[in-house]
A and B are shown apart, each in its own frame.
Chain A
Amino acid sequence: MSALDMQDVRKVYGSGDTEVVALDHASIAVGDDEMVALVGPSGSGKTTLLSIAGGLLSPTDGAVRVGPHEITQYDRRELTRFRREFVGFVFQGANLVPFLTAKENLLVAADLAGRKGKHTERRAETLLEELGLAARMGNTPAALSGGEKQRVAIGRALMNEPELVLFDEPTSALDTKLGEQVMDLIRSEVKGRGTAAVVVTHDSRMTHYADRTVEIRDGRLVA
């Protein structure tokens, strides 16, 4: 079973004359431990595809399955629960909670999913150690560099052992060298765990880290 399976997915905004087709009969399957790079120009539908795969948006037509979860018909509450427990997100610019330490930022994700206790704390510490942040656990985002923040965000995405991790331009705020380090880390983390990943990027220098690159243009997947 693939980690992500989108069949004939359409997403249309507005109606009549103002109708905008953001995603047009898009079908994609991502294997259990596959890392796919999704590239395309601005406004091509990358973000929409990522949002639908992560249960942030519902498709207008088509079917979306993540692991065993058929999320197409999920209502808002079910989608919230699904995001909490089965997907990880890494956003542009990290988007960490500014008044929490690196470790607490990881624990927020666990807390939302109802995971608490010593075991959870140890998991956060282990993840941060793996991400090379052992000495930075107690620092708030303001005291972390751009690359460190993005690594904390990766830790947060992996905290609940998701079946699928979605990366939205994870290197856009970083210089090339840091970007490559982060992509290298993403690859080793997802591959090491056998987690599927979709990485949205507009930076063609980063695509070789992925197993496969899919291009999207005007809402259609072209490769």
Chain B
Amino acid sequence: MKLAWKELTRRPSRFLTAGGALTLIVILLLLLGGLLDGLYLSATAALRAQSASVIVYSTESRDSLLRSRIEPSTREQVAAVDGVESVTGFGIALLGAKIPGRSDLADVAVFGYEAANARVPAPLPTGQVYADRTLQDEGVAIGDTLLLGPAQTPVTVKGWVEDTAYLFQSGLWANAETWRRVLAENRPDQVLGPGTFQALLVTPHEGVSDQRVANAIDTQVPGVSALTKQEAILGLPGVEQQSSTFASIIGVTFLVAGLVVALFFALVTLERVGLFGVLKAIGANSRTLAAGLALQALLIAAGAFALGGALTLLLARVIPPEVPLQLVPKRAIFIAIGIVVTALIGSAISFRRIVRIDPASAVGGS
């Protein structure tokens, strides 16, 4: 181990190729992970923000918030299901918003909601909204009146909320009456009666699982489809496909990292056959030599992660804000562990060769 450490610190240039390649791979992994998280978080924020853990759509909507309709009578039936603690209504309207002083429109998602959730306080009086802070970049300020949709329905921004977008459209959070008015004025085909929502947000009793409540609602209430929050998030258009595509690319990138390390240490081991033979002859065992190799792989991977991480942070500063890149610590930890484990596995490919080096090869000329 000591030998491996000394080789690494005294001959760092020998490890530049592998270290450099791994650093680039780390940057790629962090950027891919950051894009995946950015896309996922921007698409799913409005649903993730909900404190309720079960979401109910109408069956014919095929689990789409935009197509769903839930009548007040259905809401009463859902509220009566065993295990349901509380039910609130939820609705959405996707529109363009005219911002004072700006000629172009901003894409917004107007939410109608009835109770505070994890990120949005209780609804404001009619005509007032909480706005997602991303709208600040579009030039919106507190107190501004935005004109929504072709009918130019006015709403006034009273406060900021964080991380509440729906499919990349910034959230405007309004009470049910405001939302219904916006919908009725701008989407004449979607005029909803009083008490009608697009979805229901259900909080189960403490100790009752989300899945159990969802199943109970499905069986006891006709015409509705109840999903856990996670199922509803993955059911958003494109989210699951996006996640699985990125996960595959990230997986392949890890594979490439493993191959780079495996190839590098295979070459290094080949180069060191003579030295390892001598060390074995004077009493080093295969385990010590293999542990040294693993240590080098671990340190190279850790160094590559540190350098790659720092470079990615610098890079993130110059990436335009419209690129949905979000560097999340959880993802960085996953990539750090992943790259170290991949490097260890890659180096382990050479262990067999080390074991097979014959100490007797040290004598008789080399």
Residues of A within 8 A of B (CB): 47, 50-51, 54, 56-57, 77, 80-81, 83-85, 89, 91-93, 95, 97-100, 104, 108-109, 111-113, 156, 166, 168-169, 172
Contacts of A166 in B (CB 8 A): 363
Residue contacts A-B, CB under 8 angstroms, 24 given: A47-B364, A54-B281, A56-B363, A57-B360, A77-B285, A80-B284, A80-B285, A83-B283, A83-B359, A89-B363, A91-B278, A91-B281, A92-B364, A92-B366, A93-B366, A97-B3, A99-B10, A99-B11, A109-B282, A112-B283, A112-B288, A156-B282, A166-B363, A168-B364
| Shortest beta-carbon distance from A142 to chain B in Å | 11
Closest to A94 in B: B278
Contacts of B3 in A (CB 8 A): 97, 100, 108
What bracket does the count of chain B residues touching chain A fall in? 20 to 34
Complex Cα distance, B364 from A168, in Å, reads 7
Does A51 contact B6, Cβ atoms closer than 8 Å? no
B324 touches A (CB below 8 Å)? no
B275 touches A (CB below 8 Å)? yes
Does A84 contact B283, Cβ atoms closer than 8 Å? yes
Contacts of B366 in A (CB 8 A): 91-93, 95
Contacts of B288 in A (CB 8 A): 112
Closest to A109 in B: B282
Complex Cα distance, B279 from A89, in Å, reads 11
Closest to B274 in A: A95
From A77, A85, A89, give the contact of B281 (CB < 8 A): A89
From A56, A99, A112, give the contact of B284 (CB < 8 A): A112
B229 touches A (CB below 8 Å)? no
Contacts of B365 in A (CB 8 A): 92, 169, 172
Does A89 contact B362, Cβ atoms closer than 8 Å? yes
Complex Cα distance, B282 from A156, in Å, reads 9
From A51, A80, A81, A109, give the contact of B280 (CB < 8 A): A80
Does B362 contact A111, Cβ atoms closer than 8 Å? no
Complex Cα distance, B7 from A98, in Å, reads 9
B356 touches A (CB below 8 Å)? no
Does A84 contact B275, Cβ atoms closer than 8 Å? no
| Shortest beta-carbon distance from B189 to chain A in Å | 77
Closest to A81 in B: B283
Does B283 contact A95, Cβ atoms closer than 8 Å? no
Contacts of B2 in A (CB 8 A): 111
| Shortest beta-carbon distance from B362 to chain A in Å | 6
Knowing A95-B278, A100-B6, the reply to whether A80 touches B283 (Cβ < 8 A) is yes
Complex Cα distance, B362 from A51, in Å, reads 9
Does A84 contact B282, Cβ atoms closer than 8 Å? yes
Between A57, A93, A108, A166, the greatest number of chain B beta carbons within 10 A of the residue's beta carbon is seen for: A108
Contacts of B362 in A (CB 8 A): 56, 89, 91, 95
Instruction: Name B257-287 residues within 8 Å CB distance of A.
Output: 274-275, 278-285
From B6, B7, B280, B363, give the contact of A91 (CB < 8 A): B363
Complex Cα distance, B157 from A175, in Å, reads 92
Contacts of A89 in B (CB 8 A): 281-282, 362-363
Chain B, 1-45, contact with A by CB distance < 8 Å: what is the 0/1 string?
011001100110000000000000000000000000000000000
List 4 other contacts, CB 8 Å, given A93-B366, A99-B6, A108-B282: A51-B364, A56-B281, A168-B363, A168-B364
Contacts of A95 in B (CB 8 A): 274-275, 278, 362, 366
